[in-house]
Amino acid sequence: MKVTVVGAGHVGATCAQRLVEGDIADVYLVDIADGLAAGKALDLAQAAPLVGHSRRIEGGTTYEPAAGSDVVVITAGVPRKPGMSRDDLLATNGKIVTSIVEQIAEHAPDAIIIMVTNPLDVTTHIAMEVSGLARERVMGMAGALDTARFRCFIGFELGCAARDVQAMVLGGHGDSMVPLASSATVGGVPIAGLIAPERLEEIIQRTRDGGAEIVGLMKTASAFYAPSAGVVDMVASILRDEGRVLPASVLLRGEFGIDDTFVGVPVRLGAAGVEEIIECELSAEEMAALHASAAHVRETVAAWERLKNA
């Protein structure tokens, strides 16, 4: 199995590291900066005897070596800075993603694309539009990350292991995301009976602000450990045909009453990509929030169309 990771910054390089050291796939790391991807790939290759894996990793600036990739992960783009929203990145990252996907469509047309570049739901829309791939083969990594943050903060609050928290976050990757508090449990016990409503709302808001909180702390960088772990979860489920149910940004065509919009929902990931969109039961409030989130994504897509055609 082979994965091309586009972008050798913190997210891309850490994703490449997790893929080879987890014995999930060989990796080609590509970046526009001369020597960056090649240098990081060589460093990771030299760590192989110490870590104990036999996966191959190479790096470069061109896309020809991406040929034969089963999955392409796109992380390239300008990261957020303090005070900047994901939508502020639209003009710059929209053009970057367009150029990348054109190259991928030429050199790795059979690959499944996983988008990480923000604003996530819109760049995933761009990737599908440019590549012409079926909706099963283009998705965005956001729900896995947002869900991990939600589970982490619940674990903090209850003093328990985050892995024992079962929860899910749907909707767009941003301020309009929808953490499903009503169905969240820890060890099978609903958290609604363990956390006061006002405190739970604070946890939900911290989840929505999870990325901005890290940007505010680090000043010159954004999150990369958790985003790369979310990507690798998705890649592993696809390459190993595990059929795991994870939230991902996918094109809805009537599911949840939403049409022609990329939004985070539960999906089953296997060898074909998105093999099923799972319409879980939502409360009336959660459904309304999901529709509002989808409306925000459509507004941002419309903004991209205006920028693109200007």
The answer to whether residues 154 and 302 belong to one domain is yes
Last residue in a domain, options 120, 140, 160:
140
The answer to whether residues 290 and 165 belong to one domain is yes
φ and ψ of 7, to 5 deg = 105, 115
Q: pLDDT above 90 covers what percent of the chain?
A: 86
Last residue in a domain, options 87, 105, 140:
140
**For the whole model, what pTM was predicted?**
0.94
Question: Among residues 10, 107, 125, 173, which one is catalytic?
Answer: 173
Total domains in the chain come to 2
Note down the domain range covering 7: 2-140
The answer to whether residues 131 and 170 belong to one domain is no
The answer to whether residues 115 and 240 belong to one domain is no
Q: What is the mean pLDDT of residues 1-5?
A: 97
Provide the pLDDT for residue 84.
63
Provide the pLDDT for residue 89.
77
Give tens-digit pLDDT for 135-146. 999 999 989 999
The answer to whether residues 133 and 89 belong to one domain is yes
| Helix-helix angle 284-309:120-131, to 10 degrees | 60
Distance CA 278, CA 281 (A): 9
Residue 296: active-site member: no
Statement: residue 86 has pLDDT above 60:
no
Give tens-digit pLDDT for 10-19. 999 999 999 9
Provide the pLDDT for residue 132.
96
The answer to whether residues 117 and 201 belong to one domain is no
Give tens-digit pLDDT for 170-221. 998 888 899 999 899 999 999 999 999 999 999 999 999 998 899 889 988 8
Distance CA 304, CA 123 (A): 9
* Confidence at 292, pLDDT banded by 50, 70, 90: very high
Contacts of 302 (CB under 8 A, 6+ apart): none
